[in-house]
């Protein structure tokens, strides 16, 4: 029995979940994120350090 829903129908995105330009939390370069939770750019996600789970070192020195 079918519930009448069409699996091919696109659902609208919530207003807070729209693609926008963000700053990568890893390299700080701007990139076009596809959703509100995407904060790491694709270049960083392809890096071997990201794939191995290597933590970031402190980039800034408050000297």
Q: How would residue 3 be classed by pLDDT, with cut points 50, 70 and 90?
A: low
Residue 37 lies in a domain: yes
Residue 40 lies in a domain: yes
pLDDT tens digits, 49-60: 999 999 887 655
Residue 14 lies in a domain: no
* Alpha-carbon gap, residue 47 to 45, rounded angstroms: 6
pTM: 0.63
Mean pLDDT of 24-42: 94
Residue 61 lies in a domain: no
Residue 28 lies in a domain: yes
Q: How would residue 1 be classed by pLDDT, with cut points 50, 70 and 90?
A: very low
| pLDDT: which is higher, 22 or 10 | 22
Instruction: Show the domain range for 42.
Output: 20-47
What total number of domains does the chain contain?
A: 1
How would you write the chain as a 3-class SS string? CCCCCCCCCCCCCCCCCCCEEEECCCCCCEEEECCCCCCCCHHHHCCHHHHHCCCCCCCCCCC
List the one residue out of 15, 14, 41 whose CA is nearest residue 26: 41
């Amino acid at each position: 029995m079918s519930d009448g829903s069409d699996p091919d129908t696109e659902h609208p995105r919530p207003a807070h979940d729209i693609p926008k330009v963000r700053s990568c939390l890893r390299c700080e370069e701007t990139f076009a994120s596809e959703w509100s939770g995407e904060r790491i750019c694709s270049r960083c996600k392809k890096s071997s350090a990201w794939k191995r789970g290597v933590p970031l070192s402190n980039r800034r020195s408050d000297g």
